[in-house]
């Protein structure tokens, strides 16, 4: 019987799962890796496996893109068969994407313990599909591994028993710490002609930002305005590129250096030496805090408030005037005043695997006593 079945499906999952797989292997735990292929494009999937030295998945479901309902349902149907065949002791899901919730629901209904990595995060904005995924996943999980104290507090308010919750730190930071030197060695700013001047990095991908033409117009206009303060590099997520072309907004981005999506190492190397980041990504709020780069979050809320209170992040919304003013203020400060939150020390996966190892040992002991 397999000890752990680790589920990944989208780009952020790979970064969070990589150190867990490595720590489990070091601890002698038998692990199977299942990829739902929610992200299937090579630029969003395969390159991350290569950059992170992730093992080839034992199983790939081949799901691909679809509406939220259809994608979630297809993942559930495909996962059910593989779950019963693999028959793990614990199912480990990471993050807040549709794959996370779909596989957690199936496992819970089949009475497999679920471990949710990055539990307890809340934006309190239920328009975000990820917020629904987070809440539901937490409440069907047996093991809830949190990245910061505010997540513990959220779970306590929602009535999750304290014995199910463990503050272990942030496995995404484990990966960043391991890869940062290699990322910088790739010299991406130099390759883009930016090595001798301050520059900014921007990303946009969330449906609430890129699917609404009015919001996307405001954000692209704001990024273009920032590009008159310093060069801006905008790696275009496939969804964003498609929306810009559909809505005839590419001309608004004049002066912004757009690129294809970048692999993990290339993107980390670009961000690590940036003077400013503008993003609607959750993970990038954490990564900029870790490398000490000022970050402007282009949303009205964040599920990672510790990046604001302890880190380098400022939530600025989607108003162009507010965004440009915040960019000017960040550049005038000349450097961040943030610090690393507790336990963001590169060893979160080790602590997490220690908890799972203890749970697996208890299961063996109970089986031996016939309980």
> Are 93 and 116 in contact, with CB atoms under 8 Å apart?
yes
Give strand pairing partners of 91. 5, 114
Q: Which of 56, 66, 200 is nearest to 129 (CA)?
A: 66
- Say which DSSP state 251 is in: G
Q: d(Cα 95, Cα 120) in Å, to the nearest integer?
A: 10
- Say which DSSP state 227 is in: T
How many beta carbons lie within 10 A of that of residue 309, not counting itself?
Answer: 11
Give the Å distances, CA to CA, from 283 to 56, 62, 268, 295.
Answer: 23, 24, 12, 11
State which H helix or E strand residue 259 sits in: strand 257-259
Q: d(Cα 188, Cα 191) in Å, to the nearest integer?
A: 5
> Are 213 and 207 in contact, with CB atoms under 8 Å apart?
no
Q: How many residues are there in the chain?
A: 371
> Are 89 and 4 in contact, with CB atoms under 8 Å apart?
yes
> Are 176 and 265 in contact, with CB atoms under 8 Å apart?
no
Residues with a known catalytic role: 205
State which H helix or E strand residue 109 sits in: helix 98-109
> Are 234 and 258 in contact, with CB atoms under 8 Å apart?
yes
Q: Which of 247, 104, 128, 273 is nearest to 188 (CA)?
A: 273
Q: d(Cα 289, Cα 56) in Å, to the nearest integer?
A: 30
């Amino acid at each position: 019987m397999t000890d752990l079945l680790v589920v990944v499906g989208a780009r952020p999952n790979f970064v969070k799962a990589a150190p867990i797989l490595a720590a489990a292997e070091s601890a002698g735990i038998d692990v199977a890796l299942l990829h739902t292929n929610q992200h299937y494009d090579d630029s969003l999937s395969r390159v991350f496996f290569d950059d992170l030295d992730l093992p080839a998945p034992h199983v790939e479901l081949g799901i691909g893109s679809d509406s939220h309902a259809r994608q979630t349902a297809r993942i559930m149907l495909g996962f059910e068969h593989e779950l019963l065949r693999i028959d793990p002791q614990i199912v480990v899901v990471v993050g807040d994407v549709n794959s996370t919730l779909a596989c957690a629901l199936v496992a819970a209904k089949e009475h497999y313990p679920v471990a949710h990595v990055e539990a307890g995060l809340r934006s309190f904005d239920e328009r975000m599909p990820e917020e629904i995924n987070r809440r539901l996943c937490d409440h069907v999980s047996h093991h809830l591994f949190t990245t910061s104290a505010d997540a513990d507090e959220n779970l306590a308010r929602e009535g999750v028993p304290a014995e199910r919750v463990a503050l272990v730190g942030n496995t995404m930071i484990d990966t960043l710490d391991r890869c940062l030197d290699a990322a910088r060695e790739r010299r991406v700013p130099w390759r883009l002609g930016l090595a001798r001047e301050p520059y900014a990095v921007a990303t946009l991908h969330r449906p609430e930002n890129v699917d609404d033409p009015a919001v996307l117009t405001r954000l692209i206009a704001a990024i273009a305005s920032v590009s008159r303060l310093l060069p801006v590099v905008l790696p275009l997520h496939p969804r964003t590129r498609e929306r810009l072309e559909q809505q005839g907004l590419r001309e608004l981005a004049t002066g912004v250096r757009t690129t294809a999506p970048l692999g993990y190492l290339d993107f980390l190397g670009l961000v690590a030496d940036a003077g400013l980041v503008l993003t609607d990504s959750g993970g990038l709020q954490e990564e900029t805090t870790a490398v000490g780069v000022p970050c402007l979050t282009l949303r009205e809320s964040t599920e990672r408030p510790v990046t604001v209170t302890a880190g380098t992040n400022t939530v600025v919304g989607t108003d162009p005037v507010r965004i440009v003013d915040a960019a000017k203020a960040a550049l005038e400060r000349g450097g961040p005043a943030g610090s690393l939150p507790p336990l963001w020390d590169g060893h979160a996966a080790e602590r997490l695997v220690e908890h799972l190892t203890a749970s697996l040992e208890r299961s063996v002991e109970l089986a031996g006593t016939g309980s």
